[in-house]
Structure 1
């Protein structure tokens, strides 16, 4: 089992509400700004495999908990 960051646990632990994209695990300030400027086009954001994997895992766990 892989370990998760505090940021990941915080995101997954409560409803999404109006959280910014930077509250997702794997998405820092710079990448978050790029995503917002590019209408969340992940192909153009420059995110690496680790960032996209962390973000995907975070969203998947959130969906399992709240949907």
Structure 2
């Protein structure tokens, strides 16, 4: 699977206090919508990923419903968080 620079940068180091827009698939528009919904930091969105038990379908649907994220961008975000979890958990 080919990944973006943004993806590689995110999964290449601890999450820390990064903004939600640091996650691959989440740009400024989706970032604003997620921030408005209370998901301003990457770790907060990661928490939702964990609450949904790392389930790809549930997470993608949740992103689509919560922030209007397209299926493609939601899958990119899922893959980014999933790979981060594999490396750091």
TM-score by length of 1: 0.92
Instruction: Indicate yes or no: 2:68 matched with 1:46.
Output: yes
Instruction: Indicate yes or no: 2:63 matched with 1:64.
Output: no
TM-score by length of 2: 0.70
Matched positions, count: 66
Structure 2: runs of 5+ lacking an equivalent? 40-61
Q: Post-superposition shift, 1:37? A: 0.1
Q: Counterpart in 1 of 2:8?
A: 9
Measured on the aligned residues, the alpha-carbon RMSD in Å equals: 1.1
Structure 1: runs of 5+ lacking an equivalent? none
Q: Deviations over 1:2-37 (max 9, x none)?
A: 200000000000000000000000000111010010
